[in-house]
Structure 1
């Protein structure tokens, strides 16, 4: 390290021959020599560079060596630079004593002792190289400390993220097992009941009306299972950037009416009455399957948290945007919870016995965003919620080549 460090030396003398002679005397490997022919020029160099040593001639016009030294000692940047005075004046003038008073480390009398000059310069040059090496090491240690501190903070953050991920995974698996078990239990009980009737020869249990009710019940349970599985698969697709969007001409009003008709039985079971305001001719270039997902997610969300209060579904449009709005008058969402409901595995009012994986609104937002649209919620606790989806009428979503 020391061999790569350059130490800077300053020579100040008003006689060019003296500058050249002293330069030749002290020049060596790893040293950079600067010349100044006046005190003013020396001050300029001193403010620009960090010198290991300043060799200053005492007798100079305008500003002598002592005056230059006093200015150096009064300046923060230069006050610690070692000074060696050089003079041809006789010893009777007590220049050496005055030089030491101004803070010089040595005083050399002309003609110069070559060995004394070279050895003194070598000492200060070595000290400067060691000082620079220590400074480099200190900076390297400080940089290493900062990097280690950054890594430590990142490690702590990663640990917290891992803890959160593990907790979310455990919660998710618990929710999945519960949600999947509910429709499966219904199907198993219905199957066992039918088996019992068949084994007992009780064919009266299979009247057309009862068969229709059984079939309707089975269909709802199977649909519920499929939706749960599709939600899980969609999250995986979203994470890998493979959520498929295949735009085509879609009449939003017609699609809404079809969904509402298909979910009429669930609406009746939820105890929520339905009112609609569906405009005609709201046609855009969207993925019908994905937009239907959005409708179903918002509708089932309203039924789940609607507290058996009325639900309103509206389809509207202006010149640029189509709007799908689903409003309930149920439990509502606090302002704080509104910031997280579109995240994965987050459920509104999770402290209640709510169903669902907490994926519906997350998937809904991803689908809307993929269509270059937006979704917002307006709600307050105890006052219901209104979800509004805005989809562009003219700008189509970018199709994905990945299969769903």
Structure 2
């Protein structure tokens, strides 16, 4: 707990020393000023819980100082207690309350009264600090809640949009089959193309559902990894092969560079998911140019990098693309929920690894995944 700051002002040193001795405690910092000018300098520099001012001082007296405090935004809420000579200065009491005093102490000072009153103001100050902290936390919570509501609405909207596309395609295919049932014939090539379109749309929906399930698991802390013996090079080449036709269809042939074998300890299913997400993005943003996939080993670390020659990612976007529902790269917004890279990062970090991106707008991107080859000591479970 931070110490509470108190200000005492009197032109007589002995008065300040005596007052300080009465109110000093370990959780308080006492600041002394011998004039109104010194007090103003301290007031502008520090946040005080209480100011105790002597009424009669040469130059700027306590009443003048109080009036200036009430006229300044930083100091107008600081409680002011005047020290007065009692009955001899009754007129000062009326003026003091007019200038904003909350209480008076009368000379000779009663030690018990002084300590009691200061304790009250210190406690009020601490309660106000706690209230301000609680209000700040409440505002943060409200802002986070509002963001969650907006994210939920965006999520529902995106899911609806992303499901509508494959479902519309499948619906059209169904209509085509209805025509076939009525006697319309198709060539083998047309039949093959129709089946391929069906398969692609079904894969899109399965991928969409898998992404949503993974995010749900991540939020619940139940996305488990199951490390076991696996071959990273063989795994990567297998994923490349499965995406080769999709890449070639949009002008993004895939090139593999690396060893024929690279054994280690990983969750094979999850690492396949990582590579698949990176290849999907490379095809999506690759601008119809070749994609290069590289696997390397250095000591107890393995690296997978996926390089495309597409639109690239501006520096200000390179951190946020790993967050949930972030899809925009520059002015382009691609299909999808914006979950792929978020899930990819979680999987990589669960293995004790890292993922980064090197890119410039218009010059392509390289995503680099670094994975330890040993079982992580604390896998996500």
Write the deviation string for residues 44-65 of structure 1: whole angstroms up to 9, x where unpaired: x9699429xxxxxxxxxxxxxx
In structure 2, C-alpha distance between the alignment counterparts of 1:139 and 1:47, rounded to whole Å: 16
TM-score for the superposition, normalised by structure 1: 0.66
Cα distance in 2 between the residues matched to 1:263 and 1:362: 21
> What is aligned with 1:181?
164
SS of 2:329's partner is coil
Instruction: Work out whether 1:164 is the aligned partner of 2:147.
Output: yes
Q: Which structure 1 residue ranges, 5 or more long, are not aligned?
A: 1-44, 52-72, 74-78, 81-103, 106-122
Structure 2 match to 1:50: 22
Dislocated runs of 4+, deviation >6 Å? 45-48, 123-126
Aligned length: 293
Return the alpha-carbon distance in structure 2 between the equivalents of residues 364 and 391 of structure 1: 12
Q: Are residue 201 (structure 1) and residue 183 (structure 2) matched?
A: yes
Give yes or no for the alignment of 1:381 onto 2:353. no
- Is residue 202 of structure 2 the alignment partner of residue 222 of structure 1? yes
Q: Report the secondary structure of 1:341's partner residue.
A: helix
Q: Which residue matches 1:143?
A: 126
Say whether residues 1:314 and 2:283 are aligned partners. Answer: no
Is residue 265 of structure 2 the alignment partner of residue 282 of structure 1?
A: no
In the alignment, the residues of structure 2 paired with residue 222 and residue 169 of structure 1 have an alpha-carbon distance, to the nearest angstrom, of 25
Please tell me whether the aligned partners of residues 370 and 397 of structure 1 are also in contact (alpha carbons under 8 angstroms): no
Which one of the candidate residues 170, 174, 190 is aligned to 1:210?
190
TM-score, with normalisation over the residues of structure 2? 0.70
Any conservation in 1 of the 2:257–2:293 contact (CA below 8 Å)? yes
In the alignment, what sits opposite 2:27? none
1:137-190 superposed Cα distances (whole Å, 9 cap, x missing partner): 211211121112112222222222222222222222221111111111111111
Residue 397 of structure 1 deviates from its aligned partner by 6.6
Distance 2:268 2:330 in 1: 31
SS of the residue corresponding to residue 302 of structure 2 reads strand
Q: Deviations over 1:290-310 (max 9, x none)?
A: 000000100001111111122
Q: What RMSD in Å do the two structures reach over aligned CA positions? A: 3.0
**Residue 369 (structure 1) aligns with:** 349
1:241 equivalent in alignment to 2:221: yes
Tell me which residue corresponds to 2:252: 272
Distance 1:330 1:159 in 2: 40
Q: Distance in 1 between matches of 2:250 and 2:130?
A: 57
Matches within 5 A, 1:4-403: 49-50=21-22, 127-198=110-181, 200-202=182-184, 204-205=185-186, 207-349=187-329, 351-396=331-376, 398=378
Residues 49 and 259 (structure 1 numbering): CA distance in 2 closer, same or farther, change over 3 Å? same
Q: How far does residue 342 in structure 1 lie from its aligned partner after superposition?
A: 0.8
The alpha-carbon distance between structure 1 residues 146 and 237, as it changes in their structure 2 partners (threshold 3 A), is: same
SS at match of 2:273: helix
Change in 2 beyond 3 A, CA 1:329/1:372: same
Cα distance in 1 for residues equivalent to 2:343 and 2:163: 19
The CA deviation at 1:399 is 5.8
Q: Specify the SS of the correspondent of 1:50.
A: helix
